[in-house]
Structure 1
């Protein structure tokens, strides 16, 4: 039985990945920061077989203790401050957790597996936000990185630190450069879930309007359940490497709104949407679209859920959540 340790286990990707690994017969450990974590009950309900260990990406000694307890064959580092808008409000904390946290877990693994650093396979959650002001369309593993947010900069640091540990210590360390991936488990602060929740509430007569930022921003959106499979496949390869994980399609926020509102029978959605300047980024990332040819060729991976299916899945989930009790 393989053993895996997941940081960020209470997040969207951590929850989908934990179920995937459990379905493959893994013994799964989830790193949680503090026993009073408000999401602890959520992961226990979602995947009760996950064994919880405490630790903090900013405390290397706690990471060593977690590794000694879990004794993992694979470590998936999904822990981060991942909300881009927040990264401008608290750039220092974002840099520490999302950037230096990667160094801390890599160094903890190196010390834990000192006799053979490659015996613990490592996955780093890199991000399409690293491309920022895109220098090539579509973006691939070799595209120049030009981040446009503190979050993106921190992710670049973690990405290159992962490469450095792979090349310097022979660690089996891979990075997945994941483009936007959503699901009904996405936090309500993210634009996709903010829209799906608002559409459900508007359809149910619980609210009348939603405030959004740039409706013309284009993203390559996929389903988180598909993307965690790519993470797992990376760690099953003989050699570690970096992979873009994406659908290869780009959709503006307006198209997301079209599909979401039409799904509940509302065609004139403009009257329900207010563009608020406070939700515009200081430096916008206008177009992200990934080339996942390497992942498809080397890993045999490809996305299964279409953009339309993803949007409708999220709206349906929020309709169910928002229905009055007993309805």
Structure 2
């Protein structure tokens, strides 16, 4: 057996793909959930790895229980991928967002420090922290300008990790990830919402979809690509923070157009704009430079926006067909 790792947030998109990647590398994988007895872990089951991981409950508000878990599991690496993950939802649940992301990160780092264990720690950051990059391109040295409770929480977690790394010499780093998707994305995310609508239309269902601001520009990547970079970050001789992205940004209009073009339909006939779906503050342009990851890690995204859309659409159409057969 290789290294022993603990993935906090293993039931989510990135946690599931990371677990599969590390299992394939012969790691012993542990995963946590707030209540492991009640969580279905449907994503783990979907990838066929549910029986290969060891699952346990964890309350991130209880430092003592975290220390107890560290002593029991004795992980070599910890990946913190838990916490509220939706920018839009963070405006409705700002307290939960701040607590689950910022305080969750702090609790884990403090528990590692107090347990005096040599553990490598990864924190899931976000390019949302940069805010609106306008005509520029952000890199690891660009100042943060968060414009949502989610981005504020991620920025706080980023600086907490940097502080523990500098103050206590801990191997702790943050991956500043751009938007990334897969068939495991929940429907509340706009990309998954669009893909589901297009797949339904392809199967001859009458579909109309309401969207917010179509002019926002993001860098969309593929989650299985990104977890490879996440794993690489903890394999380096020194802990450093990296932007993980494709380096190519597109508007939401282009995302929608591409999805509808794949089924030969005109998106204008099926999409309406709902002002209620627009956020109180939003980022119009978000462009980032992932060249440090290419230079230091040897990592580059294998899939861009069009490939991501195509793979998500294929998976969603397959899922809808299977549901039709069962009915």
Distance 2:142 2:312 in 1: 31
Distance 1:45 1:316 in 2: 16
Q: Which residue of 1 aligns with 2:112?
A: 109
Say which is worse superposed, 128-137 or 205-214, in terms of deviation: 128-137
Distance 2:256 2:134 in 1: 28
**What's the CA shift for 1:73?**
0.4
**What's the CA shift for 1:120?**
0.5
Q: Which residue of 2 aligns with 1:239?
A: 238
- Please give the secondary structure, in 2, of the residue aligned with 1:75: strand
**What's the CA shift for 1:205?**
2.8
Taking a change above 3 Å as real, the CA distance of residues 38 and 210 of structure 1, as seen in their structure-2 partners, is farther
**What's the CA shift for 1:61?**
2.3
Q: What is the root-mean-square deviation in Å for CA atoms of aligned residues? A: 1.5
Q: Which residue of 1 aligns with 2:78?
A: 75
Q: Which residue of 2 aligns with 1:8?
A: 9
Say which is worse superposed, 134-143 or 271-280, in terms of deviation: 134-143
Distance 1:41 1:149 in 2: 29
1:93 aligned onto 2:91: no
Q: Deviations over 1:198-239 (max 9, x none)?
A: 111122233420111111110001101010011111100110
What does 1:83-232 correspond to in 2, within 5 Å? Answer: 83-112=86-115, 114=116, 119-134=118-133, 137-232=136-231
What does 1:14-25 correspond to in 2, within 5 Å? Answer: 14-25=15-26
- Contact between 2:220 and 2:304, CA under 8 Å: does it hold in 1? no
Q: TM-score, normalised by structure 2?
A: 0.95
Distance 1:136 1:146 in 2: 15
- Please give the secondary structure, in 1, of the residue aligned with 2:173: strand
Taking a change above 3 Å as real, the CA distance of residues 44 and 208 of structure 1, as seen in their structure-2 partners, is closer
Taking a change above 3 Å as real, the CA distance of residues 44 and 111 of structure 1, as seen in their structure-2 partners, is farther
Say which is worse superposed, 42-51 or 28-37, in terms of deviation: 42-51
- Contact between 1:248 and 1:289, CA under 8 Å: does it hold in 2? yes
Distance 1:206 1:139 in 2: 41
- Contact between 1:31 and 1:66, CA under 8 Å: does it hold in 2? no
Distance 1:65 1:201 in 2: 47
**What's the CA shift for 1:44?**
4.2
1:309 aligned onto 2:307: yes
The number of equivalent residue pairs is 322
Q: Which residue of 1 aligns with 2:290?
A: 292
**What's the CA shift for 1:134?**
2.7
Q: Deviations over 1:34-82 (max 9, x none)?
A: 1344432442453121110110222222322222222100000000101
- Contact between 2:130 and 2:145, CA under 8 Å: does it hold in 1? yes
Q: TM-score, normalised by structure 1?
A: 0.95
Distance 1:211 1:66 in 2: 44
Say which is worse superposed, 84-93 or 135-144, in terms of deviation: 135-144
- Contact between 1:7 and 1:32, CA under 8 Å: does it hold in 2? yes
